[in-house]
Chains A and B, each alone.
Chain A
């Protein structure tokens, strides 16, 4: 069966953050930051491997990180790292059943207990901390 036969939303539907509130935004950011950190990790291994070319090769590659573009990329990496860590702790606790509420008889209008204010605070905290860390990183790197 093709995607069309199955009427799957596909990746476009998976990454659409507009319909289901901040939780779906956090889901998207978690995926993007995870992929970004994976890319950075691979790049970082390549970067540190240049030391095998000796001091000149190492210094030449290190100069790339001292450019404006390099600083911006590093600032984004800082933001991704902080968001992924803080939101990851929230998600891991949730995955263990911590902070997702207790089963009870639901009453209309059926506000889901698992989408409670503690998780929303966790998501907003992750976004704010990531923004602060990124700004601090930018201030340090461009303030030299």
Chain B
């Protein structure tokens, strides 16, 4: 899409000693043919996050900027966006650590744009749901004598890392396969498939492996590892996917 820079009145204000130029992508698919950028001069402190800078714009310059956010502490996974070319959480990225006088924010790649920085998450949730992200077994904790499914700390360690996923979509945005393949399951869902396959309480391994063993499933991952590099919670989807593939190739049981 063409990138037409627009300098607003806000950009003409005198910058403070510590200020950055915040470039925000503006695009409404209902009536815009191309993405445009608006620029704002925003003062910042060492602790100011990109999300706070965007909210500053909404508060004082242009309230129509569309951005999704909620918790402001990297827990809800709402504010994923492309910040200076890489997918990051806006609430988890401090301006001072970007080492740039210009901060450019764009909507996440590989997600349909609703407006400006807000993207649709339907496909992410669909693929997440597709791998059955819950324990599969015939009995329940209510009917068994023990009342709960016991698990040792060692068994917990096998999957606890992958249960940190907040479904922010940054991994899907960074994935080179997702860049071209609309049907690919994606690193988020594959990592979650591993999370439940590796859970000692789960009995649905064969079901899940069958779901991801398709032409647009796990075999489309080429271990580029970009998903793991952008994950804000240390989930390391690339590791989960390779370990999951180890089950399918017979390296693990």
Interface residues of A (CB under 8 A from B): 1, 4-11, 13-15, 19-21, 23-24, 27, 30, 91, 94-98, 100-101, 103-108, 110, 112-115
Contact = CB atoms under 8 A, between A and B. Distances in A.
* Interface range on chain B (Cβ under 8 Å from partner): 35 or more
Interface stretch (B40-48, B60-68, B127-135, B217-225): B217-225
B170 to A, nearest CB: 12
A94 B179 contact: no
Given A8-B178, A98-B246, A106-B234, 15 more contacts: A14-B180, A19-B85, A24-B224, A91-B223, A94-B223, A94-B242, A95-B249, A97-B243, A103-B162, A103-B243, A105-B160, A106-B233, A107-B234, A112-B234, A114-B236
A101 B239 contact: yes
Contacts of A97: 242-243, 245-246, 251-252
Contact of A114 (B107, B157, B158, B238): B238
B236 A96 contact: no
Given A1-B112, A7-B110, A113-B236, A96 B249 contact: yes
A27 B164 CA distance: 27
Nearest to B176: A14
Contacts of A106: 161, 164, 233-236
B232 to A, nearest CB: 7
B161 A1 contact: no
Contacts of B239: 100-101, 103, 112-114
A4 B176 contact: no
5 contacts: A24-B176, A97-B246, A97-B251, A112-B225, A112-B231
Given A9-B110, A91-B222, A103 B242 contact: no
A30 B224 CA distance: 10
A89 B179 CA distance: 25
Contacts of B178: 8
B205 interface: no
A104 B157 contact: yes
B228 interface: yes
Contacts of A114: 225, 228, 236, 238-239, 242
Interface of B: 1, 29, 85-86, 107-113, 119, 157-162, 164, 174, 176-180, 182, 198, 222-226, 228-236, 238-240, 242-243, 245-246, 249, 251-252
**Nearest 10 A/B pairs, CB to CB:** A106-B234, A97-B246, A110-B234, A112-B228, A114-B239, A9-B179, A27-B224, A20-B226, A96-B251, A23-B225
Contact of B110 (A8, A95, A98, A103): A8
Given A11-B179, A13-B179, A95-B223, A105 B113 contact: no
Given A112-B231, A112-B238, A114-B239, A20 B225 contact: yes
A13 B1 CA distance: 13
Given A95-B249, A96-B242, A112-B231, A7 B225 contact: no
